[in-house]
Amino acid sequence: MKKSFHIKNIDCANCALKLEDAFKKLNGVEKVTVDFVREMVHFTSKKEYTSDDFENIARTIEPNVRIYKRDTHEKDQSSQQELIINSVGVFILLVVLAMQWVFRIDSPTLKLTLYILSYLMIGGKVLYKAFRNMLHRQFFDEHFLMTLATIGAFLIGEYIEGIGVMLFYRIGEYLQDRAVNSSKKSIKKLLDIKPVIAHLIQEDSIIDVKPETLLLHQKIKIYPGEKVPVDGIIIDGFSSVDQSKLTGESLPVDVSKDDVLLSGSMNLQGVLTMKVTEIYENSTVAKIIEFAEHHVHKKAKAEQFITKFAKVYTPVVVMLALILAFVVPLCDALFFSQETYQALLNVYVRRALIFLVISCPCALVLSIPLSFFSGIGASSRQGVLIKSGSDLEAFSTLNYVIFDKTGTLTKGTFEVVDIVSDQKDLCLSYAAHAEIHSNHPIAKSIVSAYQQPLVTSRVTHVSEIFGQGVICHYEGEELYVGNEKLMDAKSINYPKHSNGRTIIYVAYKKIYIGAIILSDTLKETSKETIDQLKQQHVEVICVTGDHEEPTKHMLSSLGITYYANCLPQHKVQIIETYLNKGKTAFIGDGVNDTPVLMAADLGVSMGKIGSDAAIEASDAVIMNDQPIKLLETIQLSKKTMKIVKQNIVFAIGIKLLFLLLGALGFASMWYAIFADVGVSLLAVLNTMRILNVRASTDKVF
């Protein structure tokens, strides 16, 4: 059973990893991820666990952590008190410094007492955590290491250094928190599409209600500057709406009577009266939020690497510190130096303390998940929803892109160009009745071509055969509407047509009635997308359930390999042959292709969030139907991966440099703490660059 909780007050990204490990030890709990940035815990478990069970475990590691079933806005009040205590600590430090340098009071005991007091006030929280972690036998934790380093400084008489390093560590923590919080806020703002209010029209008044309570066919008013609360259709008024948060399309769209309004879009000008066509739960906005929040959280490879790296980095650095402090001086004293072990020890212990200051991998642990999260946020601003970091990563490494044809490369709004039959009207009427309940683009086009009212009661026993068509009972007798495969399967005697178009045959009471000839057109951006993909050495393939002839006719201008006549299971087989060769994405419209979406490395569905099943099955959704969005997302994914790599190289590089400088005696503890805090901040700032994207296809490459 999949479940998620909200988690608050995690101190640092590294702590999130520790919590993850602790939760994994719970009986029956598998696949736990603690999402530091979104403040969520995702897990699957065989046993029923409450948020309290999780909180109890969490608190043995992080006393302030709170875990909730639902999101709350509870503020952590301890930070205010902490600030005051820290300031007093700093004040005491200034007093001792003034005593020493200005008033020249020289009382060693008084000074030491004040130093210790100042140290305790500034580093109290860190000391407390270090002590508690020791009780839980966790020695490689940054609090423990900072404590060790600063107490070490005290022991060798470097009081100011000890206090200073602790102070900068705290300031660094604070700044990091600020940076992370502000980035979280800007990302949340990007994703902020949830409507909060709806104005329900009643007989003689208008009342404000929650969007969740609206019922089908109710009428509501939408004022300028408000979000559309549920999906609906305009019955009065005109305006322009901003759908950028849904589709990434930045130009406002003009709307008037009979136009469809998608929830989550913003009404810009006029007052609109709208009829509800979907309740909140089934509306676009709810589906997007569902997609963004409740997913199986898969960590990207880079993230997995960091998690593993963090686990070994700290112990290794601490081991090195021990060797540097005690073994190196011994060798030095025995073989090289004239000085005694005692004297050398003093020098090397000092250097080893620097190692301890640099031993926390915080910059990495923090910036990598934040990068992926920013990437996902930026991509949703462009109108592409992505489920997890690993899916975003996958976009940058594709070798094969396999498109579905109908509704994906083509518009899927077929036009009925001809009906070949002695009884044309009857033929269309049969077809339209059979297709009433189907979501297939062909079905929708046939229904809209038949402009008369449909009598639903005439149709029973409807079943749709994927890749073939529909069979049903019409006034109690069998009716078949579909392609050649269906006609052959039902042994109908019919004349085969072939003219490069999509053809749907109709047979009633096992007798052939006629054929409906449909034409489809390519989407505007299909060709450009395919050309650009080819330029990037990505192989493009098309799979379709349609026949050879219309497929060839349609795709001839694109110059790609295609497989026609595929049933959904054939599509899966084709995908599998490519999966063996390289990273493969499948892009479909979500109608009939759920199994294929699941089989691919990266399943992308398009089209204003097609069917619910398709959303479950896909790793990403293109909201505005346009294949070109794929290019934007690949571009964004590459940018994200570049920044991720920069951060990894930069953070590890600086740390190694300072370890080396420290070991050779060229860096003091001050440098070390500046390097440590600086790297974290710069990594976070670098990450922010990801958010700096516009939904523009002009400058894709």
Which residue do the tokens 């090397």 mark? 348
Helix axes 301-322, 628-664, angle to 10 degrees: 0
Contact assessment for residue 136 and residue 21, using Cβ atoms and an 8 Å cutoff: no
Q: How many CB atoms lie within 10 A of CB 26?
A: 16
Pick left, alpha or beta for residue 687 (phi over 0 → left; psi -120 to 50 → alpha; otherwise beta): alpha
Residue 508 sits at the vertex; the CA angle it makes with 505 and 511, to the nearest 5 degrees, is 80
For ligand ADP, which stretch binds (CB under 6 A), given 70-78, 172-180, 182-190, 538-546? 538-546
DSSP codes, 226-253: -B--S-EEEEE--EEEE-HHHH---S-E
Q: Binding partner of residue 544 among Mg ion, ligand ADP, none, CB under 5 to 8 Å per kind?
A: ligand ADP
Q: What are phi and psi of 472, to 5 degrees?
A: -160, 180
Contact assessment for residue 514 and residue 427, using Cβ atoms and an 8 Å cutoff: yes
Q: Please report whether residue 515 would count as binding ligand ADP according to CB under 6 A.
A: no
Indicate the residue among 161 and 520 with the shorter CB distance to ligand ADP.
Answer: 520
Contact positions with ligand ADP (CB under 6 A) in 395-424: 404-407
- Say whether 608 sits in a helix, a strand or coil: coil
Instruction: Single out the residue of 150, 468, 526, 532 in contact with ligand ADP (rule: CB under 6 A).
Output: 468
Pick left, alpha or beta for residue 537 (phi over 0 → left; psi -120 to 50 → alpha; otherwise beta): left
Q: Please report whether residue 442 would count as binding ligand ADP according to CB under 6 A.
A: yes
Instruction: Single out the residue of 389, 482, 603, 607 in contact with ligand ADP (rule: CB under 6 A).
Output: 482
Provide, rounded to whole angstroms, the least separation between the CB of residue 515 and ligand ADP.
11
- Say whether 408 sits in a helix, a strand or coil: helix
x/- contact string, 153-172, with ligand ADP (CB under 6 A)?
--------------------
Q: Please report whether residue 464 would count as binding ligand ADP according to CB under 6 A.
A: yes
Q: Please report whether residue 404 would count as binding Mg ion according to CB under 5 A.
A: yes
Q: Binding partner of residue 150 among ligand ADP, Mg ion, none, CB under 5 to 8 Å per kind?
A: none
Provide, rounded to whole angstroms, the least separation between the CB of residue 558 and ligand ADP.
14
DSSP 332: I
Instruction: Single out the residue of 267, 502, 637, 640 in contact with ligand ADP (rule: CB under 6 A).
Output: 502
Q: Please report whether residue 173 would count as binding Mg ion according to CB under 5 A.
A: no
Q: How far apart are the first and last CA of the chain?
A: 43
Residues assigned a catalytic role: 404
Alpha-carbon gap, residue 504 to 515, rounded angstroms: 6
Contact positions with Mg ion (CB under 5 A) in 591-630: 591
Provide, rounded to whole angstroms, the least separation between the CB of residue 408 and ligand ADP.
7
Instruction: Single out the residue of 232, 329, 545, 662 in contact with ligand ADP (rule: CB under 6 A).
Output: 545
Number of chain positions touching Mg ion (CB under 5 A): 5
Contact positions with ligand ADP (CB under 6 A) in 559-618: 591-592
Contact positions with ligand ADP (CB under 6 A) in 120-139: none
Instruction: Single out the residue of 195, 329, 383, 407 in contact with Mg ion (rule: CB under 5 A).
Output: 407
Indicate the residue among 159 and 562 with the shorter CB distance to ligand ADP.
Answer: 562
Indicate the residue among 65 and 504 with the shorter CB distance to ligand ADP.
Answer: 504
Q: Binding partner of residue 468 among Mg ion, ligand ADP, none, CB under 5 to 8 Å per kind?
A: ligand ADP
Which tokens belong to 390? 């690993």
Nearest to 651 by CA among 624, 618, 685: 685
Alpha-carbon gap, residue 451 to 494, rounded angstroms: 26
**In the 3-class helix/strand/coil scheme, how is 120-136 assigned residue by residue?**
HHHHHHHHHHHHHHHHC
Helix axes 441-449, 424-434, angle to 10 degrees: 130
Q: Binding partner of residue 344 among ligand ADP, Mg ion, none, CB under 5 to 8 Å per kind?
A: none
Alpha-carbon gap, residue 523 to 561, rounded angstroms: 18
Q: Please report whether residue 483 would count as binding ligand ADP according to CB under 6 A.
A: yes
Instruction: Single out the residue of 287, 440, 523, 583 in contact with ligand ADP (rule: CB under 6 A).
Output: 440
Provide, rounded to whole angstroms, the least separation between the CB of residue 432 and ligand ADP.
11
Number of chain positions touching ligand ADP (CB under 6 A): 24
CA-atom Rg of the chain in angstroms: 32
Question: Which positions touch ligand ADP (CB under 6 A)?
Answer: 404-407, 435, 438, 440, 442-443, 464, 467-470, 481-483, 502, 504, 544-546, 591-592
